[in-house]
A and B are shown apart, each in its own frame.
Chain A
Amino acid sequence: MAIKAGFDLGSTAIKVVLTEGAQLLWSGQTPTAPGQETLAKGLLEKGLAELGLPLDAVTQVAATGYGKGLCGLAESRVDEIRANALGLFRLSSGQARHIVNIGGQDIKVIHLDERGRVSDFKMNDKCAAGTGRFFELVARLLDTPITDFARLSELATEDISLNSTCVVFAESEMVSLMAKGARNGDIIKALHASVARRVAMMLNKADLGAGVWLDGGPAKNPALALALEDELLAEVKVLANPQMTVAFGAALSLGV
């Protein structure tokens, strides 16, 4: 059996998948830290062990993400946008036409044609607003794990607004809201709406009739998907494991 590996060496998490043909066999992740290649190799070994496969079962490795250039294990490198398109198009059974990927330090909007090829894309400039880092910052500020964001957001009762598009100013705004007694759930709901507005600006006037597929780590937060639906007035779909699509696409870039 020809096993291929896809590494997504992102700014906040390293994701590794093992595939056979177009089938996803295994996926795993670990937080990004110095020594990305060693961490990815560790995940690879773990995956193979869990599948009961020897180390030499992997015939090819492709890397993507910001750390792709640092990965000597990979014989092939692919940019994140193409990897994302390949992975999500396959996982959505060819349905995806518009992807919103929220990564650790950027937001990407990718438009696909009916064959899954990238027809256009946009990426935020060097600004952390709306990215995974933004969510982490808010989690620290509110002393609340990100995994609780969706639940707390549902409990929101007050409509408040976060107006700043800059992380630093948004932080000040949140501190000010907390000082005025705003509840965490209300602030989190406002945060989701703020990120959704930012994403909507990147989608411009695109016809979203086929819906939007949300992936990346923050996509695991269902309240964010709801906020995005509300802002875009379009259906937002999320896969079961939205953080793995890019690594899966990297593996697919090796051919199936």
Chain B
Amino acid sequence: MTSPGNRHERLLGKVRDKVAGEERALLDWLRSRPDYRPRFQYFLGLLSDRRLSTIESRCERPVIRLLCVQAPLELIWAAGFQPVKIASGSSAEAQFSTLNWPALMCPLIKGILTNLETEAELAPGPWVIPTSCDWVVKFWEARQKVAPGGGEVQWLELPHLKNQPGSQARWLEEIRRLKKFLEKLRGRKIGREDLLQAVMALNRAWAAVIELKKARRDGRLASVWFLTILGAFFLDRLDRWTAEVEAALAELGAGQSAGPRIFLAGSPIFFPNFKLPALLEEAGLLTVADDLCSSERTTPGGQVFEDVSESGLLASLAGRYHQGCLCPTFGDNERRVNNILSQRRESDFQGVVFGVLKGCHPYDLESSTIEDTLKCQGLKFLRLETDYATEDRQNLLTRLEAFRHNLAGE
């Protein structure tokens, strides 16, 4: 007779097999594309082995597990750690999680919770978690159920009103606490020089990202490759990833893609869930820009520092990661819609496709107000609600095809 424990282990084994299948299918699809270039293999190779132990030996640094995008990456690099954003786009992992958690829950968090069970090395070790949405806030509590014990967490209490008096000071205090946490873990101080080096390394990476954005905007780089390259951002040393991006950019040919140009907004898209970007292509829509925290917002962008003292650098970083953040969990977030409108001037798109992951309430709520504003500005808007499962492909494709005709004025 099989004990329940064994059954659970076998179920987890089945999930691992399914996840491997999903990843293999996406990687095979990417390699079989006519626009595949051998240079892209570097990024696919990183994505095909995302185990933290592999990343640690690849980067020769211990890993800090991150959720969301508000923790200053420069600080983590400066402390000698490799930041790794923990995410899951696996349908099998999200589905398995419904054994324990509500069905209508963020698929990303569901996927990560299953990932904690399937990958024993994930849970132990240090985590940095900003209190962004409710799902993220409750993540650590939920985590104790599936992977109890082990691991330290450094919470960053995120002020959800950027313009409220004192909010920036409170956030700076959180960043100072993060610095102390990292210093304690590493057993050494983070100095001004460490910070400056990390800032310069990220600025070089950001310069490469800007060129990637231009390549996508000009039709020289398909959006699925853009997502693939950004998806591999945390998986290797920053200098090596940047050098590979620069090399890939040098090999890109002239732009060839045609079709109505769109901006992709909404919930993040993580490997191996490329359902929506693939469907956008299939429908003949050209994604020229996005504001996904898994894509263009992976890094906060380059920054010029007026005060290069240690405290000046820290204050600038804190401001950049708070004031500049477009996360929908903020209460005063006009910048988000303004960003789409300013990107429209740069990227010349005719419509916005807003993807909402079922259970991702901040994006869901925000989509309505963004829709109204953008429509007033003459932009077409399509909201799609989906999850990681593939069964709604046809339903989504029908809408995207109709949207393409709509954009073409047919």
Q: Spell out A's residues near B (CB within 8 Å).
A: 66, 79-82, 106, 117-121, 123, 125-126
Contact = CB atoms under 8 A, between A and B. Distances in A.
5 contacts: A66-B394, A79-B405, A82-B405, A118-B402, A121-B399
Contact of B395 (A82, A106, A121): A106
Contact of A119 (B386, B398, B406): B406
Contacts of B410: 82, 117
A126 B385 CA distance: 9
Interface residues of B, number: 16
Nearest to B405: A82
A118 B385 CA distance: 20
Given A117-B406, A121-B399, A125-B392, 14 more contacts: A79-B398, A79-B402, A79-B405, A81-B401, A81-B402, A82-B410, A118-B405, A118-B406, A120-B380, A120-B406, A121-B402, A125-B385, A126-B391, A126-B395
Nearest to A126: B392
A118 B398 CA distance: 14
Nearest to A69: B394
B409 interface: yes
Contacts of B392: 125-126
A139 to B, nearest CB: 24
B314 to A, nearest CB: 45
A119 B405 CA distance: 10
Interface in B382-401: 385-386, 391-392, 394-395, 398-399, 401
Given A117-B409, A126-B391, A82 B386 contact: no
A179 B250 CA distance: 72
A167 B409 CA distance: 36
Contacts of A81: 398-399, 401-402, 405
Given A118-B405, A118-B406, A125-B385, A80 B398 contact: yes
B402 A82 contact: yes
A121 B398 CA distance: 11
Contacts of A125: 358, 385-386, 392, 395
Given A79-B405, A82-B405, A82-B410, A123 B398 contact: yes
